[in-house]
Amino acid sequence: MRFSSAVVLALPALGLAQDQVPILDKVKGYLNKAKDAISSAVPAAPTPLDAGAAKVASKVQHELNQENWKQVLTTDPTASAPTTADWMVFITGGNSTCYGFCGNATKAWNDSVALLSAAPNAPNFAILDCEAQPILCNSWSVGPPSIYYMQIPKPLADQSAPAPTVRYIPLNRTMEASSVAAQMVKIVASKEYENTAPYEGLWHPFTGPLQQYGVAIPIGYILWGFAKMPSWLPMIVISMLSRSFMSKRMPQGGPPAAGGAPAPAS
């Protein structure tokens, strides 16, 4: 997606004038420019602007993995409680996890982050690549392309805090990059994430039973193993188990002779 030159040139001006413009006007101006940028976007070949958007996204986003995600998805340690940190996590993948359909979504993410990161009260940005981190994706039961919008409260002095709120928002993998970018921008700019009910089920990454009992990652390995298993292997295993079970149920020594045992000699 290519932003119009007017939007690109307007961003420095907005930064210089931010002290003179009331906060409400800044928000309104940002929303209008976000809508104009997305509505005027057209699919195009890679350009220096696309590369610039990807570079901006790489600077402001955090890459999640199995070891660091709990440390990354937190609140600002310098912020005073009570406060809440918003995290917008982009879940993507490659050929085996997204079947080659994540290209438009990834391009839309880069363009959207380049725009949203300049907004007032922008969320934090993170990316989870299910191609590189299949265990973590399976432990959350998520798939690409999608957005996981999280609101994480900072604990109070007594370490009490409300449970984090997470909303899982699937993205259409067949849409053009401009349409996906518009959807991503609206999630933040128009707070459309509120139209999605918070997830509170078994796979909740913070408070779900699997996380509380410490079995989310082991189950992630199991699901990943089943996904990598050849389709014919389960049938062979089931066949071997059924034969073993039936052989144990068969009486030992064969069936009794017909007519019973012969009478003893007189």
Question: Is residue 264 a part of any domain in this protein?
Answer: no
pLDDT at 53: 63
Q: Does residue 200 form part of some domain?
A: yes
Over the stretch 124-151, which tens digit does the pLDDT of each residue have? 999 999 999 999 999 999 999 999 999 9
Domain-embedded: residue 258: no
136/216 Cα distance (integer angstroms):
9
Count: domains in the chain: 1
Q: Is 142 in contact with 148 (CB distance < 8 Å)? A: yes
CATH number at residue 121: 3.40.30.10
- Sequence-distant (≥ 6) Cβ neighbours of residue 17 within 8 angstroms: none
Task: Please report whether residue 110 resides in a domain.
Answer: yes
Q: What is the DSSP string of 187-220?
A: HHHT-GGGGSPPP-STT-TTTSHHHHTT-HHHHH
The pLDDT assigned to 44 comes to: 43
**Tens digits of residue pLDDT in 150-175:** 999 988 777 677 889 999 999 988 88
**Are the beta carbons of 130 and 97 closer than 8 angstroms?**
yes
Question: How confident is residue 83, by pLDDT bands cut at 50, 70 and 90?
Answer: confident
- Decide: helix, strand or coil at residue 129: strand
- Listed range (47-61, 91-105, 115-129) with the worst mean pLDDT: 47-61
Residue 215 tokens, joined? 């079995």
The answer to whether the CB of 41 falls within 8 A of the CB of 178 is yes
126: β partners:
62, 89
Q: Which helix (H) or strand (E) holds 166?
A: strand 165-170
- Degrees to nearest 5, angle at CA 191 with 83 and 141: 80
Q: What is the mean pLDDT of the chain?
A: 78
The pLDDT-based confidence of 27 (bands split at 50, 70, 90) is very low
Give the model's pLDDT for residue 225: 87
SS3 44: coil
Band the pLDDT of 219: cuts 50, 70, 90.
very high
Averaged pLDDT for residues 199-211: 95
Contact yes or no for 131/71 (Cβ under 8 A): no
Residue 11 pLDDT: 43
Instruction: Answer yes or no: is 237 within a domain.
Output: no
Residue 201 has a pLDDT of: 94
Q: What six digits make up the tokens of 189?
A: 């700019």
Q: Is residue 107 part of a domain?
A: yes
CB 91 within 8 A of CB 64: no
- Residue 131 falls within a domain, yes or no? yes
Q: What is the mean pLDDT of residues 43-68?
A: 69
Does residue 239 register a pLDDT over 50? yes
Out of 28-37, 40-49, 131-140, give the one with best mean pLDDT.
131-140
Average pLDDT over residues 91-102: 90
174 occurs within a structural domain: yes
Q: How far is CA 150 from CA 44, 69, 78, 143, 224, in A?
A: 32, 13, 19, 16, 25
Question: What's the pLDDT band for 216 if we cut at 50, 70, 90?
Answer: very high
What percent of the chain has pLDDT above 90? Answer: 44
Q: Is the pLDDT of residue 76 over 90?
A: no
List, in sequence order, every beta strand (DSSP E) within 16-154: 61-63, 84-92, 124-129, 146-153
Q: Tokens 């996981």 label which residue?
A: 148
Percent of the chain predicted with pLDDT > 70: 65
Q: Identify which has the larger pLDDT, 258 or 219.
A: 219
Which candidate, 1, 50, 29, places its Cα nearest to that of 179?
1
Are 150 and 140 in contact, with CB atoms under 8 Å apart? no
pLDDT average, residue stretch 193-199: 96
Q: Which range marks the domain in which residue 12 is found?
A: 5-226
At 232, the pLDDT band (50, 70, 90 cuts) reads: low
pLDDT for 36 beyond 70? no
Residue matched to tokens 């188990």: 241
